[in-house]
């Protein structure tokens, strides 16, 4: 059986699919939530509730919130040992695997693991490595909002709908807009913040507690021992949860032998959280802008993640969307349940209705270029976007690039992922060195084509236009287990995407037809026809299939109406 895992910043869960639907698998202590905490005592490694308790006593031997640094070089020191984020995550995954085996009574070797939609390639690869270190074959890395949408049964809705999944967990925040059409669940846009979550709302209360008591009790936060700081953090977490039930909440901290108690109102807490709330609004606005939708066009808002239980978060969502969000599924468990349903789909379980999931590029795929300044010098390190973020995949886009000098011997194509206009701030996925023949720079252009598949396969094709020579490179994503032959076959299937929009027959027909009409007319009529040709050509230049399809319909209607009037 393939299990579904929600590898969370604060808590993790594992689920399976049974005849009556997805089920959360209890851990060895009978709970559903396994704290994503690891603690080391000599050669003994503790995970979950025991590790969380040990963190209060032995913070120097424990680690938490390490998901935030997944895919980076950061190392955590636990006692005398050092661990990277994927190693710590593998301990959590192994614990979940063992719980699943005990519950199911069979060996578990395969899993679907969820990640934030805004995780880049490095973070996704690190998540897959963590699964492999735990002894799991990672069948698929699924985006958390997509898993949540599946869990809510949105793919079984009878009407087409646009859904916004608002996913605020312990350490990450994602907004995804999905569009349901029949059995197709299409991701329209994603946005998020990998460093925003429930932990940050807890830290606000820690700050408020210190601000109220620092002077009176002569507290030195900077020189306070780690154990005391962990205690204060725990009490702040309990105080935060208290706001779910009442408008005031107390925070009691034992400092030395003295108990210091502070009472905070929900309104004062909300005021202090305003900067965090604004950070939430930014990805919401960004996702709507990328999806080219207005707030009023969203049919359903779904809340996911434990931090969405906070009243101030729910109030913000209700205020933003002027409607109550859907909370029919436990926000802590939705992602794990969705991952389990996705696992059942991969196993072809008969009781699951198959749904086609489409996705988008969460980050722009670009290449490094140099730009010429007014004084004739060149400045390196800039980027040329090729497939922009939130482009529906599969997709293929082409850009024409030129060498900097005459008789330049080669040109380097650095494949980048990210939104910065500077290459050094983006993630480098790969590089290619292309030889050029001697000649003037304007005659030695290259066409750089990126073709990105839903299986996280990126094909980079560089064509030297003066010789016709083509060089290709395949860059595989984090969860690709396809052979080279299978990848080649898949790229062959997508060959139609590489045909430039102008050369696609349905577009070429309209362009030729419009040129004929232009030649048949004169005067003001020619000006009108030319305006419509330019408008259609502008759409073709975007290489965006959705814009091109819409423009082609308008252009054809214009041509049909023109000929009808003239005849």
**Catalytic residues, which ones?**
6, 67, 144, 167
Q: How far apart are CA 396 and CA 383, in angstroms?
A: 18
Calculate the alpha carbon distances from 500 to 223, 503, 508 in Å.
63, 5, 10
Q: How far apart are CA 323 and CA 7, in angstroms?
A: 30
**Helix (H/G/I), strand (E/B), else coil: 260:** strand
Show Cβ contacts of residue 168 under 8 Å, excluding neighbours closer than 6 positions: 196, 197, 198, 280, 303, 304, 305, 307, 308, 313
Count Cα atoms within 13 angstroms, Cβ side, for 143. Answer: 33
Beta bridge partners of 251: 262
Beta strands in 306-425 (DSSP E): 356-360, 365-372, 378-387, 392-393, 395-401, 410-417
Q: With contact defined as beta carbons under 8 Å apart, do 148 and 328 qualify?
A: no
Q: Which of 561, 563, 541 has its CA nearest to residue 551?
A: 541
Show Cβ contacts of residue 488 under 8 Å, excluding neighbours closer than 6 positions: none
Q: Which of 101, 109, 138, 87 has its CA nearest to residue 339?
A: 138
DSSP 55: H
Q: How far apart are CA 510 and CA 408, in angstroms?
A: 40
Cβ of 215: how many Cβ atoms within 10 Å? 9
Among all chains, which residue has been given the structure tokens 């790969």? 430
Residues 251, 310, 210, CA angle at the centre, nearest 5°? 30
Calculate the alpha carbon distances from 460 to 20, 74, 158, 242, 463 in Å.
45, 31, 40, 53, 10
Q: Which of 439, 429, 436 has its CA nearest to residue 476?
A: 429
Count Cα atoms within 13 angstroms, Cβ side, for 534. Answer: 6
Report which secondary-structure segment, H or E, holds 53: helix 49-57
Q: Which of 165, 149, 150 has its CA nearest to residue 291?
A: 165
Strand 356-360 and strand 184-193: the pairing is parallel
Q: With contact defined as beta carbons under 8 Å apart, do 401 and 446 qualify?
A: yes
Calculate the alpha carbon distances from 361 to 166, 284, 473 in Å.
19, 17, 19
Structure tokens at 192: 């998020």
Q: How far apart are CA 134 and CA 69, in angstroms?
A: 19
């Amino acid at each position: 059986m393939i299990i579904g895992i929600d590898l969370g910043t604060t808590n993790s869960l594992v689920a399976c699919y049974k005849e009556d639907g997805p089920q959360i698998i209890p851990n060895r202590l009978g709970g559903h939530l396994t704290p994503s905490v690891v603690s080391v005592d000599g050669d003994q490694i503790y995970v979950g509730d025991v590790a969380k308790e040990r963190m209060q006593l032995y913070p120097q031997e424990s680690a938490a919130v390490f998901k935030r640094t997944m895919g980076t070089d950061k190392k955590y020191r636990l006692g005398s040992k050092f661990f990277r984020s994927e190693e710590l995550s593998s301990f959590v995954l192994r614990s979940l695997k063992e719980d699943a085996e005990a519950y199911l009574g069979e060996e578990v070797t395969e899993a679907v693991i969820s990640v934030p939609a805004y995780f880049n390639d490095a973070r996704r690869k690190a998540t897959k490595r963590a699964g492999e270190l735990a002894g799991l074959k990672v069948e698929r890395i699924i985006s958390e909002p997509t898993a949540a949408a599946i869990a809510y049964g949105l793919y079984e809705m009878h009407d087409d709908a646009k859904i916004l999944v608002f996913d605020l967990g312990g350490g990450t925040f994602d907004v995804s807009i999905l569009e349901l059409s029949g059995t197709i669940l299409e991701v329209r846009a994603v946005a998020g913040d990998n460093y925003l979550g429930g932990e940050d709302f807890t830290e606000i209360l820690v700050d408020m507690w210190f601000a109220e008591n620092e002077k009176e009790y002569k507290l030195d936060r900077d020189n306070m021992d780690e154990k005391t700081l962990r205690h204060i953090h725990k009490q702040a977490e309990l105080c935060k949860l208290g706001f779910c039930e009442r408008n005031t909440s107390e925070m009691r901290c034992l400092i030395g032998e003295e108990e210091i108690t502070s009472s905070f109102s929900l309104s004062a807490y909300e005021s202090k959280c305003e900067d965090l709330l604004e950070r939430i609004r930014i990805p919401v606005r960004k996702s709507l802008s990328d999806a080219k939708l207005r707030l009023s066009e969203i049919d359903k808002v779904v809340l996911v993640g434990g931090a969405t239980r906070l009243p101030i978060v729910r109030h913000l969502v209700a205020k933003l969307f002027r409607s109550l969000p859907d909370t029919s599924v436990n926000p802590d468990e939705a992602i794990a349940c969705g991952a389990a349903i996705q696992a059942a789909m991969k196993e072809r379980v008969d009781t699951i209705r198959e749904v086609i999931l489409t996705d988008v590029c969460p980050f722009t795929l670009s290449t490094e270029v140099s730009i010429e300044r007014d004084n004739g010098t060149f400045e390196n390190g800039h980027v040329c976007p090729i497939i922009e973020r939130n482009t529906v995949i599969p997709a293929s886009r082409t850009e024409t690039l030129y060498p900097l000098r005459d008789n330049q011997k080669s040109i380097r194509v650095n494949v980048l992922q990210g939104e910065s206009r500077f290459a050094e701030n983006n993630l480098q996925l790969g590089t290619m060195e292309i030889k050029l023949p001697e000649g003037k720079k304007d005659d030695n252009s290259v066409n750089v084509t990126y073709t990105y598949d839903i299986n996280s396969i990126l094909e980079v094709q560089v064509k030297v236009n003066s010789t016709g020579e083509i060089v290709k490179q395949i860059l595989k994503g984090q969860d690709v287990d396809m052979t080279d032959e299978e990848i080649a076959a898949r790229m062959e299937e997508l060959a139609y995407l590489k045909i430039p929009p102008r050369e696609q027959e349905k577009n070429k027909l309209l362009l030729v037809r419009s040129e004929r009409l232009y030649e048949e007319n004169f005067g003001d009529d020619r000006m009108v026809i030319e305006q419509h040709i330019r408008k259609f050509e502008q759409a073709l230049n975007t290489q965006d299939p959705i814009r091109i399809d819409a423009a082609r319909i308008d252009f054809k209607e214009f041509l049909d109406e023109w000929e009808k009037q003239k005849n």
